[in-house]
A and B are shown apart, each in its own frame.
Chain A
Amino acid sequence: MTTTPTAVGTRGAPRGAAGTRPAAPTGRRRRGPTASQWAAVGFAAPLLVYLVLFYAYPLWRNVDLSLHDYTIRAFVQGNAEFVGFENYAEVFSSSTFPTALTNTVLFTVGSIVFQFAIGLALAVFFRSSFRLSGALRAMFLVPWLLPLIVSASTWAWMLNSDNGIVNSVLGAFGAEQINWLTSPDTALLSVTIANIWLGIPFNLVILYSGLQNIPGDVYEAASLDGAGAWRQFWSITFPLLRPVSLITILLGLIYTLKVVDVIWIMTTGGPGDASTTFAVWSYREAFGTGQPDFSPAAAVGNVLILVALVFGFLHLQLQRRQEDS
C-alpha cells in the first residue's frame, strides 16, 4: 500500500514511485514462469478447484436447467428436452412477472435506502464514543445474530392481524386493525420493514469501520474553519465515506435481491402474489408446490443473477471513473 490514495476530495493525486516500479519485473517474466510464480499457481489451485466445483458448476447447471424442460419425469430419467429460451419467454409473459418486478424493485430500493440511512445515522452517532457506546453498539448487532427463522417468525407474530402486539398498541391509540400481512396493500410494506430491521446491523458495522478511517484532523481543521456538525457531515463524512458507502450499498443490493427466507416465513409471498419478489417466485416454482418446476425456477434465478451482475459492473464503472478523475 505505497500508492497515494485517490480518494474523493484529493483530486489529481500524484502517483507514487510504486506506480513505475513494476516495469522491471515484466522483462523477467517473459522468460517463462519462475519458481515463485509456480508456487503462486500452486497456492491458488485449491481455491480455483473450489471455485469451479462449487460456483462455476452450479452456475452452469442453473443455466442448463433453464434451457431444458425439466419436468419431474425428465429430472429422474435425465432426458429433458432442450427448449432454448422458452422458459424465459414463459417467465416474461407470466402474469406474475410485472408484480414480481415491481415488488422486487420496491422491496430492494425500500430496504436499501432505509437500511443505509439508519445504519449511517447510527454509525455517526456511535462515532463519538460515550459511556456504554460499545455495549449499545453490540446490542444493535442482535438482529444479525438471530437465526432468520426466529426473527422472521417474531415479526410475523408481532404483525398478526388479530393478536399482534403492533395492532394492539395501535388499537390502544384508537387506530383501526391493520391487516399487516394479510392485506395486499400492506404485505410488501411489512416484509420490507422486517428486512430493513434485519439489514441495519450490517450497514452499521461496515459504515462504522469506514468512519474509523477518516482522520480526526480533517474534522479539527473543519471546525477551526467554523463548519458546524451538519456542514461537517455533508462536506467531510459523506464524501470521504463514499467508497465504503458504495460497497455497502452494492452488497446490500445483492443480499436484498436474493432474500427468500424472511418473505417466505412471513407471507409465503402472499396474499396471492402481493409480496412475491423474483427470489420468492423462483423458490416457489422449485420447492413451494407439490410439483417442482425446476426449469422456470432456474430461469427466474438467472434473471436475478443478471440483474445483480449489471449492478456489480455499474459499480465498477463508477469506481473507475472516480479514480480517474
Chain B
Amino acid sequence: MHHLTRTAPRRTVALAALTTLAAAGSLAACSSSDSPGTGASGGSDDTYTWWDPYPQHDEKSDWAQRVQACGEEAGVTIERTAYDTTALTNQALLSAQEGTSPDVILLDNPAVSTLADTGMLTTVDEFGLDTSAIDQNLLDAGVVDGAAYGIPIGANTLSLYYNADVLKDAGVDPASVTDWDSLTAALKKVTDAGHKGITFAGIGTEEGSFQFLPWFWGAGADLTDLDSPEAVEALELWKGWLDEGYAPNSVIQNSQNTTWEEFLTGDFGFVENGTWQVNSAAEADFETGIVQLPAKDGGVAPAPTGGEFIVAPVQQDTERYETTRQIVECMTTPEGFVETANTFAYYIPPTADGQKALLEEKPELEPWVEAVQNAKGRTSDGLGTDYPIISEALWTAVQNALSGSATPAEALKTAQADAESGTK
C-alpha cells in the first residue's frame, strides 16, 4: 500500500507520456529521412538488385532460378529480395526516398502509376523497350500521361467459377448464364434446390472494389461517375442477391480467400474468383468450371486486370540501364512470358504470341485468356493516381449499401462526392 500510493503519481506522468509517444512513434516510424531520392545504385557493378512480391518462391525455386538465368544472360549476378505485396510498395517508396532503389521491381499493377507519379520510375521509352506487342488493355494500367512506366509480365483476372455438382442438382446449365437476368435466375434455382447461390468479396479494402468492378463496368458505368444510373444498377444487383438470400450476408466481410474457402465447402453454386485459383479448383472435391462474368445485357463484362509489372526505378548511375534492359527483355520475350505463366501456374501472357504459345501447352486455359483479353486496368483511362481515391469511395459505398446503412443510390451519391473532393 505504501509503495503504491507513494509512487503512483510520478509513474503515471512517465507512463502517460511514454504511451502517448509510443502511439505517435508507430506512425512516424515509416517515414524517416528527408533526402530527395534520385537514386544511388542499389548494387555493385556486377550485382543487380531485384525485388518481387513472391516470398513463397524461395532461393531454390524455379522462379528464383529463372531470375538468376536472366542475370547470367546479361553477364551479372542478380540479388533477389522478396516482400509481400503491400510491404513491397512501402519499401520501394522508402528506398526511393533514400536513393537506394533496386534495379528492377516487379510491382502490383495499380501501384505502378502511384510510384510513377513520384518520379522514381523510368519510362519504357527511356529504356528503349519495345512494347508494341503487349496487349493495350494490359499495358494501360501502367500508363501515366501517355507514358508507359512498365511492362506487365503476365496478367490474371476474375471469372465466375461454378460447382458443377450443385448446378446439376439444381438443374442449371452453366451455358445459360449469359447476362445478369439469367445469372439471377440460376441463383434462384440453386437456392431453391437447398444450396447457397453465390459468394464474393465485398470487404472494405481494395479487394472489395476489385470484385465489384466487373459488375460496375458490366453495367456500363464509369469510374469517373460513381453515381450514374448504371452504377446504381450494379450495386442494386449485389444488394438484391443479399436481400433474396442468394448471397450470404458475410460477403460484406469476405476477402477473396475467404470466398474461395466458402466455395470449397461445396455448398455454393458460384464464386467470383481469380485465375490464381485454377489449380485449387482442379483439386476440389467436386467438379468445377468457369463461365465468363456476364455483362448486364449479355456478353463478357470487363474484369479488372491483376498481376505484376516489371519496372525499372531511376538510378544515379545510368550506365546500369543497359544491363537492366537486357534483364527486362529476357523476362518479356514470348518464351519468357510462357515460362513465367508456367512457373506461377496462373499467369496469362500479355502478348498475342505468348497467349498462343501458352494455349498450345494448356488448351484448358482458353476461357482465362478470353477473360484477360476482355479485362481492363483499374488505373487505365487516365485515372492513374486518382484511382485509389475513387476506389476507396467505391468500396465504402458497396459496404454501406450491402449493410443496409444507405440505399445503393444514396451510397453511390456520397461516394461520388467523396471521390470528387478527393481528386480535385
A215 closest partner in B (C-beta): B1
Residues of B near A3 (CB, < 8 A) are 2, 6
Interface secondary structure of B, over-half rule: helix
Instruction: Report if A156 contacts B (CB, 8 A).
Output: yes
Closest chain B residue, CB of each to CB of A307: B20
Question: Would you call B175 an interface residue if the criterion is a C-beta within 8 Å of the partner chain's C-beta atoms?
Answer: no
Q: State the CA gap A311–B5 with chains docked (Å).
A: 19
Residues on B with C-beta less than 8 A from A109 are: none
Confirm or deny: A223 has a beta carbon within 8 angstroms of a beta carbon on chain B. no
From residue A224, how far is it (CB to closest CB) to chain B in Å? 21
Are A268 and B203 closer than 8 Å at their CB atoms? yes
- CB <8 Å contact, A1 and B117: no
Partner of A282, one of B8, B27, B387: B27
Cα-based distance from A7 to B7 in the complex (angstroms): 12
Asked if A173 lies at the interface with its beta carbon under 8 angstroms from chain B, I say no
Contact of B405 among A78, A271, A305 (CB under 8 A): A271
Task: Find out whether the CB atom of B388 lies under 8 angstroms from the CB atom of A289.
Answer: yes
Which of B293-301, B342-350, B360-368, B395-403 contacts its partner? B395-403
Assess whether B111 is in contact with A254, with CB atoms less than 8 Å apart: no
Do B6 and A290 touch (CB < 8 A)? no
Given contacts A72-B93, A271-B252, A312-B20, contact A291 B119 (CB under 8 A): no
Give the residue among A76, A187, A298 with the most B Cβ atoms within 10 A. Answer: A76
B1 A272 Cβ-Cβ under 8 A: no
Q: Determine chain A's interface SS by DSSP, over half rule.
A: helix
Q: Are B1 and A214 in contact (CB under 8 A)?
A: yes
Q: Count the A-B residue pairs with Cβ separation under 8 angstroms: how many? A: 228
A55 surroundings in chain B (CB, below 8 A): 18, 21-22, 25
One of B28-36, B45-53, B122-130, B317-325 contacting the partner: B28-36
Query: In angstroms, how far is the closest chain B Cβ from the Cβ of A65?
Result: 7
Question: Which residues of the partner chain B approach A70 to less than 8 Å between Cβ atoms?
Answer: 31
Tell me the smallest distance from the CB of B117 to a CB of chain A, in Å: 6
Centre residue among B2, B27, B111, B414 by max chain A CB count within 10 A: B27
Question: A128 vs B47: C-alpha distance in the bound complex, in angstroms?
Answer: 68
A81-111 interface with B by 8 A CB criterion: 95
- Residue A143 at the B interface, CB < 8 A? no
B418 neighbours in A (Cβ, 8 Å): 95
CA distance A125 to B249 in the complex (A): 41
25 intermolecular pairs with C-beta atoms under 8 Å apart:
A5-B6, A59-B24, A62-B27, A72-B93, A72-B118, A75-B31, A76-B119, A156-B253, A182-B249, A183-B403, A183-B404, A184-B403, A187-B403, A210-B4, A240-B1, A243-B5, A268-B205, A270-B403, A289-B392, A291-B114, A291-B385, A291-B392, A298-B28, A305-B24, A308-B16
**Contacts from B to A (Cβ < 8 Å):** 1-6, 8-9, 11-13, 15-25, 27-37, 86, 90, 93, 96-97, 110-111, 114-115, 117-120, 203-206, 248-250, 252-253, 385, 387-389, 391-392, 396, 399-400, 402-406, 414, 418
